[in-house]
Amino acid sequence: MSKLVAEHVFKVFGRRPKEGVRRLKAGADRDQLRAEGTTAAVIDASFEVQQGEIFVVMGLSGSGKSTLLRTLNGLAQPTSGRVLFDGRDVSSLAPKDLRELRSHRISMVFQHFALFPHRTVLDNAGYGLEVQGVPRREREEKAAEALELVGLAGWERSWPDELSGGMQQRVGLARALATDADLLLMDESFSALDPLIRRDMQDQLLTLQQRLRKTIVFITHDLNEAMRLGDRIAVMRDGVIVQIGTAQDILVDPASDYVASFVQDVDRSRVLTAASIMQEPRVTVRPGDAPGSAMRALRTDDASAAFVVAPGRRLVGTVTQEKVTEALDEDGGTVKELMVRDLMDPHCVTTHADTPLAELLTPASRTRQPLAVVDDEGRLTGVIARDTLLAALGDQPATVVGVPAAPATGAGTPAGGPVKEALDA
Ligand SMILES: Nc1ncnc2c1ncn2[C@@H]1O[C@H](COP(=O)(O)OP(=O)(O)OP(=O)(O)O)[C@@H](O)[C@H]1O
Ligand SMILES: [Mg+2]
């Protein structure tokens, strides 16, 4: 079950909001409603957020992000549609249950986090718990834990005005974390921070999230922030969610010209990962293969080299056609009692599926083979030929993107196949 579901949520401000929704459903747009004195802040928003996901809502100022966020915790009632939290319709909750939801299960972190100037950092961090009626000792314990989580251990007894802006924002985050809420709603939480501190906070949130696995809805108008943080991103325009997808989806397959123009300046090489361009490993051989059968495999695919894969798809090396040839006599028989494991080079250049393309250039330049993509257990999951990488980075000549050209003199002379492609790149 999804943690949070928005079903056809509309939020219309003005004298006759319901009538506004009716007009929107009949095809009117935001501008028409505005001419009639009604503001359509959110138009037919539907999405599901999974437990543990960071769901980013991104859009320009006035696109309806904050209004949408406020419907998620019942601060604003949808004019039409509903919001389900853990399967329960938020708008049908009794006031008491709604208060309980907002103080215990859902926390909000705003852009300008208002700390109480006459309370210590510890008391500020424990404020949400105080609202919950948690006794002082337990409150201070949890607040101190939360402060430690956000890197503020040692600052418990300080006063807010002794803290930098970034640190104050961390106290805000600590306050949200201390309550044990499982849904965090973050509205431009880092937007008021200096760029470096902001990046720092983004990193910290991602690190925290690996440990805490909260469900987070994060609002930003900054595309780079959205791409860094979001497991998925909803792009809003004039009240409408125009696309929902991963950063890669949105970059590779923008749903409209609007989204395309929005993302045109994004540095693709930092968003797209190895997974987006890797291909099935074509030629693989086993350590125990005889040179003859390795040669057949290489020839079938016209490859100059193959990855050597042990049982369980574990990558153990590469073997070149040149090496295999040395182990064969003229009639194709084996010269000595050699197997692939005796002929292979155990040093493969590998990478991981989630490595950004920008970070593949250096490893790609260190090998004439395609890059091997392996998982945490060292299993071969894909290969990336060098020219595939270069094409993905925009068809730029190798020198421009900083890859030393591959050595012209290569082992073997076969044509075709991913290995050959890499050698030719
Ligand atoms: N209480 C309200 N009454 C009337 N109109 C409102 C109200 N709240 C928001 N709006 C309007 O709804 C639209 C969406 O506003 P909202 O604050 O949700 O946008 P936003 O995407 O969060 O913008 P920003 O990036 O500037 O924070 C705007 O046109 C705004 O003026
Ligand atoms: Mg806003």
Ligand 1 atom, smallest distance to 59 CA: 21
Three-state DSSP state, 184? strand
Query: Are 313 and 357 in a shared domain?
Result: yes
92 and 209 together in one domain:
yes
Domain co-membership, 351 together with 212? no
pLDDT for position 407: 36
Q: Do 284 and 398 fall within a single domain? A: yes
Other Cβ atoms within 10 Å of 289 Cβ, number:
21
Q: Are residues 255 and 342 in the same domain?
A: no
CB atoms within 10 A of CB 280: 9
Do 32 and 23 touch, CB atoms closer than 8 A? yes
Write down which residue in 231, 266, 301 finishes a domain: 266
Tell me, using a 6 A CB cutoff, whether residue 63 lines ligand 1.
yes
What pLDDT score was predicted for residue 400?
34
Report how far ligand 1's centroid is from the alpha carbon of 100 (Å).
Answer: 26
Q: Is 79 in the pocket of ligand 1 (CB under 6 A)?
A: no
Among protein residues, the one whose CA lies closest to atom 25 of ligand 1: 61
Last residue of a domain, one of 232, 248, 266: 266
- What are phi and psi for residue 307, nearest 5 degrees? -80, 140
Question: Residue 238 CA: which ligand is closest?
Answer: 1
Looking at the structure, tell me whether residues 101 and 230 fall in a common domain: yes
In a domain, 291, yes or no: yes
User: Does any domain span residue 145?
Assistant: no
**Which ligand gives the minimal distance to the CA of 110?**
2
Minimum CA distance residue for ligand 1 atom 27: 61
Question: Does some domain include residue 362?
Answer: yes
DSSP for 320-387 reads EHHHHHHTB-TTS-BSSS--HHHH-B----EE-TTSBGGGGHHHHHT-SSPEEEE-TT-BEEEEE-HH
Q: What is the CATH number of the domain that holds 14?
A: 3.40.50.300
Specify whether 44 is located in the same domain as 192: yes
Overall number of domains in the chain: 2
The answer on 254 and 293 residing in a single domain is no
Q: Is residue 95 included in any domain, yes or no?
A: yes
Tell how far the Cα of 230 is from the centroid of ligand 1, in angstroms: 22
Range of the structural domain that residue 51 is part of: 2-105+181-266
Amino acid (1-letter code) at residue 166 = G
- Specify the pLDDT at position 333: 64
Pairing of β 106-109 and β 183-187: parallel
* Cβ 66 under 6 angstroms from ligand 1: yes
**pTM, entire model:** 0.76
Q: Is the CB of 39 under 6 A from ligand 1?
A: yes
Q: Which CATH number characterizes residue 415's domain?
A: 3.10.580.10
CB of 110 shorter than 6 A to ligand 1: no
How many C-beta neighbours within 10 Å does residue 177 have?
Answer: 25
Q: Does the Cβ of 189 fall within 6 Å of ligand 1?
A: no
- CB-based contacts of 381, cutoff 8 Å, min separation 6: 278, 313, 353, 373, 374, 375
* Residue 296 maps to a domain: yes
Per DSSP, the three-state class of 187 is strand
The answer, yes or no, to whether any atom of ligand 1 lies below 6 A from the CB of 220, is no
Residue 114, domain member (yes or no) = no
Q: Is 13 in the pocket of ligand 1 (CB under 6 A)?
A: yes
185 and 237 fall within a common domain: yes
Burial of 376 (0-12, 13-18, 19+ CB in 10 A): exposed
Which residue, 213, 248, 266, sits at the end of a domain? 266
- Number of helices (H) and strands (E), helices first, in the chain? 21, 16
Q: Please report the pLDDT score of residue 200 as a whole number.
A: 85
Which amino acid residue places its CA nearest to atom 4 of ligand 1?
13
Cα angle 119, 193, 167 (rounded to 5 degrees) comes to 35
The verdict on the CB of residue 41 being under 6 Å from ligand 1 is yes
Taking CA atoms, 220 is separated from 66, 69, 339, in Å, by 10, 11, 57
Same domain, residue pair 201 and 57: yes
Q: Give the C-alpha distances (Å, rounded to integers) separating 233 from 96, 222, 257, 276, 364.
A: 32, 12, 17, 17, 30
Question: Over its length of 425 residues, how does the chain's per-residue pLDDT go in tens digits?
Answer: 899 999 999 999 998 999 999 999 999 999 999 998 899 999 999 999 999 999 999 999 999 999 999 999 998 999 999 999 999 999 889 999 998 888 889 998 877 767 899 999 999 999 989 988 899 999 999 999 999 988 899 999 999 999 988 889 889 989 988 988 999 999 998 888 888 888 888 988 998 899 889 999 999 999 989 999 999 999 999 999 999 999 989 988 999 999 998 888 888 888 888 998 999 888 899 999 998 899 999 988 888 899 999 999 999 999 999 999 888 876 666 666 789 999 999 988 999 998 999 999 999 988 888 999 999 999 999 999 988 998 888 733 333 333 333 333 333 323 333 333 333 33
Residue 143 lies in a domain: no
- Assigned domain for 38 exists: yes
CB 423 within 8 A of CB 315: no
Q: Are residues 259 and 282 in the same domain?
A: no
Q: Residue 269: its pLDDT value, please?
A: 87
Binding site membership of 128 for ligand 1 (Cβ less than 6 Å) = no
- What pLDDT, on the 0 to 100 scale, is given for residue 330? 65
- Say whether both 98 and 212 belong to one domain: yes
pLDDT of residue 334: 63
Distance, CA 39 to ligand 1 centroid (Å)? 9
